[in-house]
Each structure stands twice: as C-alpha cells, then as structure tokens.
C-alpha cells in the first residue's frame, strides 16, 4: 500500500495536537493526586520539539503548557517511542529533553528562581513489552551507595503492548491508541478496521469526523504491513456507506484538495449513488490514468509553498521534468526538509 515517511510520527502528532485528546489522555493515565493540581482547561500546545534530529525516526514529542490550580505554569511532555523494541536509554533521553524545556523557560523569563514542573509521559507501541528503565536510578551502574547523588527522575509509561482498550471509555483517544497498538496485527483489516471507523463516526461530527477518519486511514494504509486495499475498501463500504454516508462527499473533497487523484473524488461521489465499491474502483482507475501526474504535482507544489513560500521558476521547471514516482518521492522528502535549498539539491539528484 502507499508509503508515508514516518507514519507513526505523523499520526501521533496529528492526534495529540488536539487538546481535547490530550485532556482525555491525562484523565486516564495520570495519578489522581497529580490531576487534582492541574487545570486541564488551560492546556496549550507549544510549537517546540526537543528530540535530537538523528533520533526523530524513532521518537516524536509534544509539549503542552498547563496551569496549576494556583495559576502557576507547568508542562506536560509527551514522548512517543515508535521503535519495535524498547531503548534502554530512553529515560536518559527524556531527562535531556526536560532539561532543554527548563532551559527554554529560563531564557524566556530570566527572573525565574524555581523551575516549572514537567510531567513526562512516555507512550510506547513496540511489538514486545517494555523492558527498559523508567527511572534514572535504574540506569546507573555500580553499587547503590554510589547512586545517592544521581538525578531523581522518572516518567509515566503507557506500554501499548500491554494496554487493554477496555480500560478507558470509548473515545477518539481510544481509537487512536488501538490503531497504534494494532497497526502490525495481521487481523487489522479483517477484524478491527470497520469497528474503528464506526467508532469515529459515532463519536465525532461533521468536519472533525472527516479529519479523524482521514488521519486514521492514511496512517494505517501507510504503516500496516498487512492491510490491503481490498480490506480498506470493504471497511469503508461497511461503515461509511450507511451511517457515515453523509461524510463521504466531504471526505472525498478533502482528499481532492490535498492533491490526491481526481478519480478518487469522482469515484467516491459516484459510489454514493451507484454503489460505493464500484465507485471507488472507477475512481482509482480514472485517477491513475488521468489525474495521477497532475495530482502529484499539485501536492508537491502545495507542500513547497506551505513549507517555504513561493517556488521560483527555475525550480518549478526542473520539477516538471520529473516522473510521477520521482514527484511522489520528493513530496515525502519535502515534509522533513529544513530548507528550499535542500529540496533543490534533491531535485537535481533525481534529475540525473
């Protein structure tokens, strides 16, 4: 199925960038005494990342500012480890990132004489159970007598490999965590996808439902090694053609706006009237034949303008000489490029 660079990272950030989802997460996974000291209505997403560039293929992070009940500033730091195994140095990495948050707070307010509290939460969805330290003292070598001056630092762990969805109520958070927990499960398309889509329809409305469904489908089709296009088509037919039928025109429009194949939009719209499965098949065929190249180029140019502003004529001319496969590859590169110069250099390499 389709390939998306770091799909786990993108789905985590898309989902946990919503304060209502994080609020639900904290209510379920923080200790009650800690919750009693926080005003969760003040959650405010910060636009910073603290993960080292060379580790971003394995870690994602989100930082929220939140007020205490005394109206003082504190932070919630979410670190998502999307390796297939637990890294023994994760707790050390998290400590480093928390130090960076404190350094940033001190730079912003030089009058601070105390550091704002940080609540570090680790989300892990490896294939095997977590078996690495979650407390710095357990990472220190030597006799316990040598640990007395070591840092006292620990984190709250959510190990999705050992997490039971029934532990929390049905919610968007539960769907997201189930998707991440089961993304490698061979039964995903046969037994789970329809249920996850159905839950999103029940739990969300209108535009937000479209965004949640789109994010879920993009994530699972990109990250699952087992999910097939036929299983996705069947799950859509079972859920969206009935209860969620009114969402399909909007969902199709969303895909179209982002530069996906024209035929998908046409096929989905026809599918509402003529049968969803037939419409999707027609849309995919027409899109591949007629709209793929145009849609891919629109996506690439749109990404470039969003990340770096206007595209100069020389680069645009060079882009038009690329094949569809090269355009799609470059679109993925743009998502993580740090400058337009990096994109131009990658374009020249593809052109050779």
Percent of the chain with pLDDT over 90: 49
Q: Averaged over 120-144, what is the pLDDT?
A: 94
**Which of 127-141, 267-281, 296-310 is the least confident region?**
267-281
For the chain, the average pLDDT equals 83
First-last CA distance in the chain: 27
CA distance 49 to 56: 10
The answer to whether residue 263 scores a pLDDT higher than 80 is no
**Strands of 187-306, DSSP E:** none
Report angle CA 67, 123, 15 to the nearest 5 degrees: 70
**Which of 15-29, 135-149, 199-213, 287-301 is the least confident region?**
287-301
Query: Measuring CA to CA, which residue among 218, 231, 223, 217 is closest to residue 187?
Result: 231
pLDDT the model gives residue 269: 44
**Which of 1-15, 99-113, 191-205 is the least confident region?**
1-15
Q: What is the pLDDT of residues 216-226, one digit of tens each?
A: 988 998 889 89
Neighbours of 327 (CB within 10 A): 22
Q: Averaged over 58-74, what is the pLDDT?
A: 96
pLDDT the model gives residue 352: 65
């Amino acid at each position: 199925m389709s390939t998306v660079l770091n799909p786990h990272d993108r789905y985590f950030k898309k989902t946990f960038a919503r304060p209502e989802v994080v609020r639900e997460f904290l209510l379920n996974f923080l200790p009650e005494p800690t919750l009693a000291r926080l005003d969760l209505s003040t959650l405010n997403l910060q636009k910073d990342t603290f993960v080292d560039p060379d580790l971003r293929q394995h870690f994602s992070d989100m930082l929220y500012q939140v007020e205490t009940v005394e109206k003082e500033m504190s932070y919630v730091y979410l670190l998502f480890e999307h390796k297939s195994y637990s890294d023994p140095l994760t707790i050390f990495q998290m400590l480093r990132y928390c130090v960076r948050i404190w350094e940033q707070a001190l730079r912003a307010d030089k009058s601070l004489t105390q550091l704002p509290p940080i609540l570090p939460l680790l989300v892990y969805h490896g294939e095997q159970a977590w078996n690495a330290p979650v407390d710095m003292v357990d990472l220190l070598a030597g006799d316990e007598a040598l640990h007395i001056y070591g840092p006292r630092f620990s984190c709250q762990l959510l190990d999705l490999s050992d997490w039971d969805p029934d532990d929390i109520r049905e919610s968007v958070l539960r769907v997201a965590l189930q998707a991440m927990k089961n993304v490698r499960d061979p039964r995903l398309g046969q037994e789970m996808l329809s249920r996850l889509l159905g839950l999103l329809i029940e739990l969300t409305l209108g535009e937000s439902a479209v965004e949640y469904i789109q994010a879920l489908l993009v994530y699972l089709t990109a990250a699952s090694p087992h999910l097939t296009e036929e299983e996705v088509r069947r799950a859509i037919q079972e859920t969206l053609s009935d209860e969620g039928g009114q969402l399909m025109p909007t969902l199709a429009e969303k895909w179209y706006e982002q530069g996906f194949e024209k035929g998908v939009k046409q096929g989905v719209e026809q599918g509402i009237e003529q049968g969803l499965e037939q419409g999707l098949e027609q849309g995919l065929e027409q899109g591949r034949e007629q709209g793929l190249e145009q849609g891919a180029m629109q996506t690439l140019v749109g990404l470039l303008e969003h990340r770096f502003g206007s595209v100069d004529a020389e680069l645009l001319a060079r882009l038009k000489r690329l094949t569809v496969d090269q355009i799609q590859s470059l679109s993925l590169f743009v998502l993580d490029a740090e400058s337009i110069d990096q994109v131009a250099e990658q374009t020249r390499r593809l052109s050779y």
